[in-house]
Each structure stands twice: as C-alpha cells, then as structure tokens.
Amino acid sequence: MGTAKRTTLADAVARFTRDGMSIAIGLALEPAIPFAFAHELIRQRRRDLELIGPISDVLFDQLIGAGCVRRVTAAWVGNVSAGLGHCYRRALEQGVPRRIEVRDHSNFTIAQALLAGAIGAPFIPTRTLLGSDIPRANGTFRESVSPFDGTTVLLVPAVLPDLAVIACQRADEEGNAQLVGPWGISREGALAAREVVVLAERVVPRREISSAPNLTLVPGTKVVAVVEEPFACHPSPLQGAYPRDHEFFHEYHRATRTREGFDAWLADWVTAVPDRAAYLAKLAPRWPP
Amino acid sequence: MGTAKRTTLADAVARFTRDGMSIAIGLALEPAIPFAFAHELIRQRRRDLELIGPISDVLFDQLIGAGCVRRVTAAWVGNVSAGLGHCYRRALEQGVPRRIEVRDHSNFTIAQALLAGAIGAPFIPTRTLLGSDIPRANGTFRESVSPFDGTTVLLVPAVLPDLAVIACQRADEEGNAQLVGPWGISREGALAAREVVVLAERVVPRREISSAPNLTLVPGTKVVAVVEEPFACHPSPLQGAYPRDHEFFHEYHRATRTREGFDAWLADWVTAVPDRAAYLAKLAPRWPP
Amino acid sequence: MIDVSAGELMVAQAAREIRDGEKVFVGMRLPLIAFVVAKRTHAPNAVGLFELGLVRDEPAAELLYTMGDTANVDGAMWCGPMLDVMGMLQRGDVEAGFIGGAEVDRHGNLNTTAIGGERQRPAVALPGSGGGADIASLAKRLIVIMPHDRRRLVERVSFITSPGYGDGPGWRERVGLPRGGPSVLITTLGVFRFVDGEAVLETYHPTASLDEVRASTGWEPKLARDVRATELPSGEVLDIIRGYDPKGFWTRRET
Amino acid sequence: MIDVSAGELMVAQAAREIRDGEKVFVGMRLPLIAFVVAKRTHAPNAVGLFELGLVRDEPAAELLYTMGDTANVDGAMWCGPMLDVMGMLQRGDVEAGFIGGAEVDRHGNLNTTAIGGERQRPAVALPGSGGGADIASLAKRLIVIMPHDRRRLVERVSFITSPGYGDGPGWRERVGLPRGGPSVLITTLGVFRFVDGEAVLETYHPTASLDEVRASTGWEPKLARDVRATELPSGEVLDIIRGYDPKGFWTRRET
C-alpha cells in the first residue's frame, strides 16, 4: 500500500474541498473538533458550504462569520462554555456577513440521519421530536405510522455529506483512524460521507493500528487524505493529548460581540496565520499547558 | 457500588433464566460464543427457549439437540468449519427431540432488528432481502415504500430479547464488559435486551475498564450478573486469550450424526460434567494449546 | 442576607430531584454539579449519561466546562457512540434528564431555537436544541432549570424546541410521545412542580419572595396549597458545591 | 491426469474475479484462499471485508477455518460492529462478494434454507442465509462458488435465499434491489458467466468435460460461443494455494 494519501492540511483542503459542498465536521461534539481544518477552509476562501454536525462549539460560528457558509444542518450552534455564538446570531438575525439557512435537528435526529447514510437506509424512524416545532422547521422529516403497532413515528431521512473531517489521536498512512474518547456521531458521519479527511495527532505505522483495531473509527477505505497535524483541535480537547482551552473560548466570546471584533479576531488568529505551526507559535508559551 | 452482581455461572443461570424466555447469544458470530452458558442451560433443563442470534456455530445445535428450544430466530444454524448441524436438521426434518420453529433472518436483518431494539425504534427500513423468500418465511417483516424517494423498502421490526449473554475478555464487578475482537451484533443485542449476563475471562478492577472505556461493549447499567469463567467460549476463540479448537468442532460433527451419538456426546461433555472447571479438566492436556 | 447564590439553591434543588440508582442525562452547567451533590449525599448509585457518548458513575474529578472535557472521560465506564446513549433514552432506560431553555411556558414547553420573526430570520437566534429536545421527548422525567424573568417564563413559547405538555393534559399522548414530560421547573426564584401538565409553584427561594416570583412570571402562576420557601441547602451540600466549583464559575455566574 | 484439484481450479478462477483495489466480501472456505491468491498476484490493493466485523488488507498469516479465527483479527485495520460492514455493503461501497449455496438455478438464485416440504418441516434443512442473502442483495457483483451436480444446479430453486436474477432480466429492479446480481458461477466442473440474467457456460475445467458439465446440470446450459477449457492455474498460483492450505483442508475436501 502506498502513501499517496499522506499530505499537508493546505493540500488536503485544496484538493478535497470545493465551493458549495457539504462538510460534516465536529462530529464528536465538544472534543476533537478539527479547528485547524476550518481555519484552512477560511484561508482558502471556500464559499457556500453546508456544514453538518450536532453541535460544533465555535467552529461553525467561525466559518459563518468568515462568510464560508450557505447552510447549517445542525442541532446547536454556539459557544458551549460561554453561551451564544455571535456570528451565528448576526448571520441569522441580520444577514451579516451573509444570510444563511438553518436546517434544524436535534442531536439524536442528526445522529439518525447520518446513521441512515452510513448504513444505506433511506430513513430511520424515531419517536423523538414528536410535538416539537423542529420537524416543521427542518422540512425534510415525514410523520408516519408504524405498520407494526400503529404508533406515530417521525421518519428522519438519510444525510449524505460530501466530505467528513475527522480529528483523532492516531492514524496510519492509509487513513485507518483511531479515536479515543467519546465518538459522538463521528463514525456515522464518516461512514455516511462520500469521502473522509483525517487529521491525526500522529501518523503511526500500521502495526500500531492493527494492535488495537477495535479503536479504528473509520477504515482507510473511505479516507482520501491523511494529515499529521499536532494540536489540530485546539481550543477543543483531544483525549490523552491535550485538554480544552476554556479561556480561549471565553476570549473568543468576548472578542466577537461585534462584527468588527470578529474580523479582528479572524485576522489575528486565522487569516494572518499561514498554518497550524504558526498558530501554535502564536499561542506559546501559554499553551500547551 | 457493591459486588452484588458477581456470581457463579450456575447461580446466574438459575436466577436470570426461565423456561420460555428469549435469549440472544453467540452475537459475535464465530468468536466469543458463550458455550459454558449454553451447557449450564442444558444442565438446568431450561425448556421452550427462543434463541436469537446471527449464526451460532454449534451452540444453537447443542441446545436444540438437548430439547431446550422452542424457536430459533437466526440467520444460520450449523457448524461453521464442518458443515451442517445434525441436531438442527433432526429437529426440523423429523421433530427430534422436539419440533422447533424457525424465524428466518439474514445476518443483516437480525443486526437491524436488534439495532431497532437497542435504539428503541419500532423498525429499520432496509433494501436487503427484496426478492428473497426469507421475508415470507419470517412473517414479521413488512414491505413498504419510502416516502422520500418512492423506492421499495423492507421494514425489519425490532427484536427485544429477554436476555443477552455476552462473553468477553474482561469486565468489572458492575458488568462493564470489554470485548476485543469482532463485535458482530453483540452491542446491538446487549442494548436491545432487557437484561444482560456477562461471562468474563477475568473480572478486573474498575480502573482497568476506565483506562480504555472505548472498549466497553455494554455499560454495567444493563448487566444483572457478572461471572468470571475462564475459557467459557471453548471451542470458539476469544481474541488474545485462546484460539478456536477446530478439531473439537469437527469431532462434534462426526459424533452427532445420529441422535444416539448426540446423546452420548451430551452426556460426555455436558450433563455428566458438573461445571466449567470439570470440563476443562476433561479437556486437558490437549487444551489449552 | 443569606449567603447562598441562586445558582447554589438551584443546584441543591436539582440534586434532590435525582433518586438513588437512577440513570440520569446530566447535561452540563448546574446539573453537572447537582449530579455531584446527589452522588455524594443521597444517591450514591446514580449513573450519569452524557449524550456525546459517556456513561460514568463517579463524577469527574474536577469542574467541567463541557461534558467533553478530558476529565469527564477519565474514569468513565463506557465511552462510544452518541447513538447508543440516545438509544437507551429512546428505549425508556433513562429515568431523568436535565435541560435549560431561553423560554418556558406554563405547560413546560421550552424554546431554545429562536424568538420572534421567521425561523430563517428571527429577531433573536438561539443556539438550538442540542440534545435538549431528545431528553424532553424521551426521558421518563424532565427536570428544567433556568433563570427566572418575564421574558423567559412566558404564557406561550414562540417555538417549541423541547416538548413539555403542549397545551395541557393528554397532548403528549396525542402527538405520539412515548412517555415523560417535565416534573419540575427550577428557576433562580423558585420551584414549580408540574401537576396535570401545568406548572404549580411549590416553593420560592429564600433569596426571593412570592411577590417577586409572581411579578417575574409571564402568567399568573398557580400556587401549591402549601407554597413555602425553598429548603436551604445544608452546610454539607454547600461545601460540596463550593468545593466542586470554588470560583463559582457556574453557580455564581450572571444569568 | 492433471494434478490440480477442482477446489484449486475454483480458487484460481475466483481469484481472477477480484480486481485490484476492490473491496470484497470474502466470506470463508475457498473464497478466503482466492483472496490470498489475488492479493499476492494481480490485486495487491484489494481489501477484504468480513461481515462479523473485520476489514483487512493483508490476508491472515495462517489458514482460516472461520472468519472469526484469531489469526484473522491479528493485523486487521478495523474491527467492530457487523452493522458498519453491512452498512458499507448496503450503501454500495462494496464491489464484490462471494457466496456458495446448496442449490442454484439458471438465473443465479441460491437456496441455502431448505429443500422440499414446508419451511417449518422441510425434507432437508439447510443452515440458512448467514450473510449470503445480504451479499447477493447488495454487493455490486456476486461471485457464486459451489459443487456441481444435478441436485445442486437445478432448473428452479425451491427457496430463494439469496436473490440472483429471479426469473430473468428486469426482475431485480422490479423487486426493488438497488444493484448487483451474480456475475459468475464457479463450480467443481466449470465457469458460467451471467448474460442477461442467465448463466452461460464460459469454460469447463480440464478435470471435467463439456459433456460432464451438461450431464451434471439440471437445465440445458447455454454455451458461450467460444466455450473452452478453464485456464489452469500458474505454478505461482498453485504454490500460493498449496502454501496457504498445505493439507488441502478446503481445496481438497469432499464436496
């Protein structure tokens, strides 16, 4: 097996993302959020993206504020420990920097939508959200009746992302990616996607992967690019590698209350920073802790 | 947390099984089959059981031959490396030692039936088995049309076993069970069941479990009994502990061609053997290898 | 006055809502601390489920800012897919769950989606459901925690993110929800118990008053026959709360 | 005569059916050895999927008696739930799969369930589908391997466990199957290729003859215009087969 999948983050974003595509990212919920990937999307000025995920902590907020996003298919967009996401609010309330569409989900329905995609089912029937206004707002669900017991069910149709981005502790050069810690909907999202990009804290020899194959979240057969990118998830945590940088989230919250504040933050931490190494140099010495 | 769940195999079978119940067992397919549990079911003369599983290698065959079984809900019953299951054949073809009912599944539909049970969905829609005679033979599926794209789907209703039996390498005293190797439909089966009994090669302190919680197949909250029973899966393999005893399967195949042969085999290896320790003593020195 | 914050009172009350041996969707913020209190006092066998894919029966060793903090994984008994945890919830294996909201109405319906305007162009965009709507739909018992003012406790929420009792008794059954509904609404000012699908004021916090509760509620609240002051947390409970959140990050934040 | 067993001929032909880079449901018995041959000759980038929950791109280091043997887990790249592997199959991510059967008909339908009588009281009870019916339903291409005699190659199977082309062209689409169907039937006597939903004899093994194939088939088989003898395995291929199964457990067993 070759090493054709091993590449840099900039190359992976250049080759495997395009304007208008749907990207599932931040699938483990609060941990293992591939912020490095989002920042590179912003630097490469991708536009009209559909973001798919459960919650995203501030990753979705940043991409929305940077004008990369057309639609958010998610259960929650904000800043988990600080509160609201200011860019998300500005986009929805004022159309700043552009209007976005929201396709509302709950965590469970987006999980089921990606499960359906992962196993090739057209939909999954559920009893969550009956009576909620989310199904009406979402517009893609159907209410139905179970032919087995006559009870009401909500049918959640499959979601099939063009791309899923997975950050993890280790992967081999074929993309066999191992994630330790909560998986959230990472596996469903990766298996539902057409292609997967893996950001690994360490790229390791196959024998390290095959010594514990139960930890492999997604087999390399789905993976098109493997990037070794240490600290790719900062400020979110990666189990066994680094903790969450709570203060960074709170600073972001304070700094981005205004559009000008966000633009300054973005210039400071993303657009004026060529790559993750420079970002980490800028963080030092405060981080890693 | 107490140690009230820790017990012996005989006690677990006495307290948590009863005539007529449905038991999901052998859920990892060829490996990690809890033969020790099946033998104790036979010794305690449980009757009218419904067995639920994908394939079972010869575990289902033995329980059928011993007259414990009323119904088999499965994808396959036989002897994986040797061929047919003679007891299964005798039961179906001749009603010997008693008639049994078969509820036909494929591996994928029984997986989906238990997935539905595990996540509390009434059914899972699938495209497998369209055109097969299995749905008609099974009788519980419904053909339907996806309201999203008008395509035909088969609806597989949830299966909810009364009990699931899981064999694994290690578990703590609360029943947090960690299985290394292929999981087959073990997790779906355990989560779909009302109660779970765990047979662990080793019962370990909590800290060993929580050092790698991604390997926990089922949380202890579902588990009613934890039995430390080394070599509980012989002649099937348990990864990292012992290999498959191929010859034992082939001997069983040869020995059980007739009902008298099976009865002799059963007396020799099960009913005249008080417990797993005696079984292992009988196997020595040929096994463990 | 009384040296107890509203956050601490809420945590203490929330802890009382957890029964021993229960499986509870803990969520984050105040409920997370309530779980710690319950575990260390009357409910040592309670088990916490976290929707991102964690089950644990010992609280994390340090204060959590999110359920995904590394400290919440250390010592977990199970770690894996959200689907399995949500599956347990949908099956009916989970006794109770905590959620908060931006708006709640007298029937316990919660809005965390948007206020005013159209959904795609709201006056105020809120973060959304997360797992809240799932817990509200599927847990056997829902415990609601939120700040108390007239903009939040409203006659009718403008969007039902997390279903309570809809428009009253029988509604959950009619829409097809399999079980559950809010059992209690704990606010910065008091505690409402749901009776026949409607919030009934059971206690007002000693930091507040009955009049303040009435003035801050967007409907005329029903009062329990024996409406009274909320029981103060014991010294032991306050010690646990303050030991776990020494800076008051969650228990003394502005709401 | 020729010192090649029918099993070895079948393995060699089965290996030819695997293309480089494909994801293949390998199953067990002869196909497992075919996967080894393909990997070591023309298809070094083929990946094997095993329905019990394994994905691997190197064959196991020793002969497997079942796909769950410990040697098949050692060196695997992925190990976990069957549902994920079957899910890849249903999504259409799997190019090919192998299955066998007790009966096959001219349209490639397979029976592994029961022969004669009622389903609940058959004349002969067979083990059942296992994953065979799923592979037949959902793989892009199905490779069928089985012993050849008139009781097995029948005009019409008595029970369709694994759907082939039903009663002919268009049937799979009509019943709702998303793709696939048998591409080839490899027997102990020859190789049939499916054309317009019907098995056409492409080659007969040099260990057999055209007449023997005809006499052993339960229908009058269509013959390819250039029907010919099956290509013998090269010395390299035979070495791989015999190196992997030195005792001929699978390649020389009585069928």
What is chain C's mean pLDDT, rounded? 95
Chain C hits for B216, Cβ within 8 Å: 77-80
Q: Any residues with CB less than 8 A from the CB of A268 and at least 6 apart, and which?
A: none
Beta partners for D237? Answer: none
How confident is residue B1, by pLDDT bands cut at 50, 70 and 90?
very low
* Cα atoms found within 13 Å of the Cα of residue B111, Cβ hemisphere only: 26
* D24-43 pLDDT tens trace: 999 888 999 999 999 999 99
Residue D207 lies in a domain: yes
Beta partners for A203? Answer: A171
* D29-80 pLDDT tens trace: 899 999 999 999 999 999 999 999 999 999 999 999 999 999 999 999 999 8
Q: What does pLDDT average to in each consecutive run of 10 residues of chain D (255 residues)? A: 85 97 92 95 97 94 94 95 97 96 96 96 97 98 96 97 97 98 98 98 94 97 97 95 93 67
Residue C227 lies in a domain: yes
What is chain A's mean pLDDT, rounded? 97
| pLDDT at C27 (0 to 100) | 84
Chain A hits for C125, Cβ within 8 Å: 88-89, 92-93
Any CB–CB contact under 8 A between A127 and chain C? yes
Chain D hits for A112, Cβ within 8 Å: none
Structure tokens belonging to residue D25? 């449901």
| C74–B210 C-beta distance less than 8 A | yes
Instruction: Calculate how close chain B gets to A58, using CA atoms only, in Å.
Output: 26
Any CB–CB contact under 8 A between B220 and chain C? yes
Rounded to whole angstroms, the Cα distance separating D52 from D129 reads 14
How far CA C122 is from CA of A80, A90, B218, C127, in Å, comes to 21, 10, 43, 12
Residue D251 lies in a domain: no
Q: What are phi and psi of A48, to 5 degrees?
A: 60, 30
Q: Any residues with CB less than 8 A from the CB of C153 and at least 6 apart, and which?
A: C103, C104, C105, C187, C216, C217, C218, C219
| pLDDT at C252 (0 to 100) | 82
| B123–A146 C-beta distance less than 8 A | yes
CATH T-level topology, domain A9-105+160-283: Glutaconate Coenzyme A-transferase (3.40.1080)
Instruction: Calculate how close chain D gets to A231, using CA atoms only, in Å.
Output: 24
Chain A adjacent subunits, 3+ CB pairs under 8 A: B, C, D
Residue C100's nearest CA partner among C161, C146, C38, C66 is C146
Any CB–CB contact under 8 A between B80 and chain D? yes
Q: Which of A76, A99, A182 sits opposite C128 (nearest CB)?
A: A76
| B31–D130 C-beta distance less than 8 A | no
| A120–D84 C-beta distance less than 8 A | no
* B114-126 pLDDT tens trace: 999 999 999 999 9
| B126–A125 C-beta distance less than 8 A | no
| pLDDT at A1 (0 to 100) | 45
| B55–D130 C-beta distance less than 8 A | yes
Residue B2, pLDDT above cutoff 60: no
**How many CB pairs below 8 Å do chains B and C form together?**
60
* A189-226 pLDDT tens trace: 999 999 999 999 999 999 999 999 999 999 999 999 99
- Mark whether D220 is an active-site residue: no
3-state secondary structure of B205: coil
Reported ipTM: the value is 0.97
Rounded to whole angstroms, the Cα distance separating A60 from A90 reads 13
How confident is residue C28, by pLDDT bands cut at 50, 70 and 90?
confident
Chain C adjacent subunits, 3+ CB pairs under 8 A: A, B
Residue C17's nearest CA partner among C153, C246, C191, C205 is C191
The residue annotated as part of the active site, out of D51, D95, D103, D202, is D51
Q: Which of A127, A152, A183 sits opposite C81 (nearest CB)?
A: A183
Residue B32's nearest CA partner among A39, C118, D73, C14 is D73
Any CB–CB contact under 8 A between A153 and chain B? yes
How big is chain D by its Cα radius of gyration, in Å? 17
| A144–B214 C-beta distance less than 8 A | no
Angle between helices B58-65 and B86-94 (to 10 degrees): 50
Hunting for tokens 């010919």 — which residue is that?
D228
Q: Any residues with CB less than 8 A from the CB of D225 and at least 6 apart, and which?
A: none
Interval B101-110 mean pLDDT = 98
* A30-74 pLDDT tens trace: 999 999 999 999 999 999 999 999 998 999 999 999 999 999 999
The residue annotated as part of the active site, out of C8, C17, C51, C95, is C51
Query: Choosing among A27, A30, A64, A105, which should be mutated to test the C contact, i.e. which has the most C CBs within 10 A?
Result: A30
Q: Which of B81, B88, B102 sits opposite D120 (nearest CB)?
A: B102
Chain D hits for A172, Cβ within 8 Å: 77
Residue C254 lies in a domain: no
| B219–C77 C-beta distance less than 8 A | yes
User: Per residue, what are the HEC states of chain D?
Assistant: CCCCCHHHHHHHHHHHCCCCCCEEECCCCHHHHHHHHHHHCCCCCCEEEECCCEEECCCCCCCCCCCCCHHHHCCCCEECEHHHHHHHHHHCCCCEEEECCCEECCCCCEECCEEEEECCEEEEECCECCCHHHHHHHCCEEEEEECCCCCCECCCCCCCCECCCCCCCCHHHHHCCCCCCEEEEEECCEEEEEECCEEEEEEECCCCCHHHHHHCCCCCCEEEEEEEECCCCCHHHHHHHHHHCCCCCCCCCCC
Residue D254 lies in a domain: no
Rounded to whole angstroms, the Cα distance separating B170 from B209 reads 8
| pLDDT at B62 (0 to 100) | 98
Any CB–CB contact under 8 A between B121 and chain A? yes
Instruction: Calculate how close chain A gets to C192, using CA atoms only, in Å.
Output: 22
Do residues A52 and A74 lie in contact, with contact meaning Cβ atoms separated by under 8 Å?
A: yes
| D92–A213 C-beta distance less than 8 A | no
Chain A hits for D23, Cβ within 8 Å: 221
Rounded to whole angstroms, the Cα distance separating C67 from C59 reads 11
Rounded to whole angstroms, the Cα distance separating A129 from C180 reads 13
| pLDDT at D57 (0 to 100) | 94
Interval C152-171 mean pLDDT = 97
**Chain-centre distance for alpha carbon C51:** 15
Rounded to whole angstroms, the Cα distance separating A41 from A18 reads 9
Interval B199-220 mean pLDDT = 96
Range of the domain at C95: 6-244
Chain B adjacent subunits, 3+ CB pairs under 8 A: A, C, D
Residue D103 lies in a domain: yes
How confident is residue B280, by pLDDT bands cut at 50, 70 and 90?
very high
| Domain ranges (residues) in chain A | 9-105+160-283
Q: Which of B118, B187, B216 sits opposite C77 (nearest CB)?
A: B216
Q: What is the amino acid identity at position D30?
A: L
| pLDDT at B289 (0 to 100) | 86
User: Nearest-CA residue of chain D relative to A205?
Assistant: D77
| B119–C86 C-beta distance less than 8 A | yes
Q: Which of B126, B148, B151 sits opposite A157 (nearest CB)?
A: B148
| Statement: the pTM of the whole predicted model exceeds 0.90 | yes
| B157–A148 C-beta distance less than 8 A | yes
Query: Choosing among A130, A146, A215, which should be mutated to test the B contact, i.e. which has the most B CBs within 10 A?
Result: A146
| A220–D77 C-beta distance less than 8 A | yes
| CA quadruple C133, C137, C139, C143: dihedral sign | positive
Chain C hits for A153, Cβ within 8 Å: 176
Chain A hits for B144, Cβ within 8 Å: 147
* A111-142 pLDDT tens trace: 999 999 999 999 999 999 999 999 999 999 99
Q: Which of C78, C88, C90 sits opposite B213 (nearest CB)?
A: C78
Do residues C180 and C174 lie in contact, with contact meaning Cβ atoms separated by under 8 Å?
A: no
Chain A hits for D75, Cβ within 8 Å: 210
Q: What is the amino acid identity at position C26?
A: V
Q: Which of B115, B127, B239 sits opposite D90 (nearest CB)?
A: B127
| pLDDT at C121 (0 to 100) | 96
Do residues B218 and B175 lie in contact, with contact meaning Cβ atoms separated by under 8 Å?
A: yes
| A107–C131 C-beta distance less than 8 A | yes
Domain at D40, CATH number: 3.40.1080.10
Number of independent structural domains in chain D: 1
**Chain-centre distance for alpha carbon C75:** 25
| D55–A219 C-beta distance less than 8 A | yes
| B149–A155 C-beta distance less than 8 A | no
Chain D adjacent subunits, 3+ CB pairs under 8 A: A, B
Q: Which of D69, D159, D161 sits opposite B244 (nearest CB)?
A: D69
Q: Any residues with CB less than 8 A from the CB of B127 and at least 6 apart, and which?
A: A120, A121, B151, B152, B153, B154, D90, D137, D138, D176, D177, D178
DSSP letters, chain A, are: ---TTEE-HHHHHHHH--TT-EEEE-TTSSSS--HHHHHHHHHTT--SEEEEES--THHHHHHHHTT-EEEEEESB-SBTTTB--HHHHHHHHH--SS--EEEE--HHHHHHHHHHHHHT-SEEEE-TTTT-SHHHHH-S-EEEE-TTT--EEEEEE----SEEEEEEEEE-TT--EE--S--BTHHHHHHHSSEEEEEEEEE--HHHHHTSGGGEEE-GGGEEEEEE-TTTTTTS-BTTTB---HHHHHHHHHHTSSHHHHHHHHIIIIIT--SHHHHHHHHTTTS--
Residue D204 lies in a domain: yes
Any CB–CB contact under 8 A between A99 and chain B? no
